Amino acid sequence: MKKHYPDARAALDGLLHEGMLIASGGFGLCGIPERLIDAIVASGVKGLTFASNNAGIDNEGIGKLLRTKQVRKMISSYVGENKEFERQYLSGELEVEFCPQGTLAERMRAGGAGIPGFYTKTGVGTLVAEGKEVKVFGGEEYILEAGIFADLALVKAWKADETGNVIFRKTARNFNVPAAQCGKVCVVEVEEIVPAGTFDPDCIHLPGVYVQRLIVGSPYDKKIEFRTVREA
């Protein structure tokens, strides 16, 4: 199976359609699939739902897609640091499904494992629980959360081998692994592709069975969310 594609546009060819659900890795600006997001911006596809911890910042990450009005709904746990996100949500242009961070990660992992739903205490007695089924286990209330089954997963990693086995660098692993697992098709952008057999099997974070398409996205610029400097 051919997994290596020449660029992000080619890797997404035939996968994008209006109204689709995309699971995207990243936390803030760490481990976000920059090249793949740029290719979606260029495609012009609209009506997208993104399951992602956050929407980046203005003009970075998914924030680029908010600027072009290509996102209809966000399933997220953190929505700060993005003024356009705030504006669209408050004006009713963007639908938002708030999801506790651990619950969001588990919803993705559950989808990847073929689990349609699970019960959790997180959110019991809050707005998060509204409209959700409640069950009692051991005398405690739990709410039912649905697994996420995405049409497409977008992932940023450090290295991959030719068969699609992936290694992440430090905290850039974040939501990328569960996002990759819950997509019907997973596209990964990496900084380097190495020959098969290069990795110690015990060091592989995401097995190649989850990965359908790969691109090399380098070089990358290190982006900083907050910059604090001394006054001159």
The pLDDT assigned to 85 comes to 92
- If you search the block for the tokens 């399951």, which residue do you land on? 51
Domains in the chain: how many in total? 1
Give the span between the Cα atoms of 137 and 161, in whole angstroms.
44
- For 178, 187, 207, the CA distances from 181, given in Å and listed in that order, are 5, 11, 10
The answer to whether residue 92 sits within a structural domain is yes
Question: pLDDT digit string (tens) for 163-195?
Answer: 999 999 999 999 999 999 999 999 999 999 999
The answer to whether residue 137 sits within a structural domain is no
SS3 content of the chain, % helix, strand, coil (to 5): 25, 30, 45
Compute the C-alpha angle 20/26/32, nearest 5°: 85
Beta bridge partners of 166: 160, 206
Give the span between the Cα atoms of 61 and 55, in whole angstroms.
7
The answer to whether residue 71 sits within a structural domain is yes
The answer to whether residue 211 sits within a structural domain is yes
The answer to whether residue 224 sits within a structural domain is no
Q: What is the mean pLDDT of residues 203-209?
A: 97
The pLDDT assigned to 134 comes to 97
Give the span between the Cα atoms of 15 and 55, in whole angstroms.
21
CATH number at residue 202: 3.40.1080.10
Distance of CA 170 to the CA centre of its chain: 17
Q: For 61-157, list the strands marked E by DSSP.
A: 71-76, 95-98, 117-120, 134-137, 140-146, 150-156
Q: Considering the chain, what percentage of its residues have pLDDT values greater than 70?
A: 100
Q: Given a cut of 80, is residue 83 above it in pLDDT?
A: yes
Q: Given a cut of 80, is residue 160 above it in pLDDT?
A: yes
Question: pLDDT digit string (tens) for 5-63?
Answer: 999 999 999 999 999 999 999 998 899 999 999 999 999 999 999 999 999 888 899 99
Question: pLDDT digit string (tens) for 53-82?
Answer: 999 888 899 999 999 999 999 999 988 778
The answer to whether residue 48 sits within a structural domain is yes
pTM of the model: 0.93
Higher-pLDDT residue of 113, 221: 113
The pLDDT assigned to 2 comes to 84
The answer to whether residue 141 sits within a structural domain is no
The pLDDT assigned to 227 comes to 77
**Domain assignment of residue 169, given as a range:** 8-115+147-216
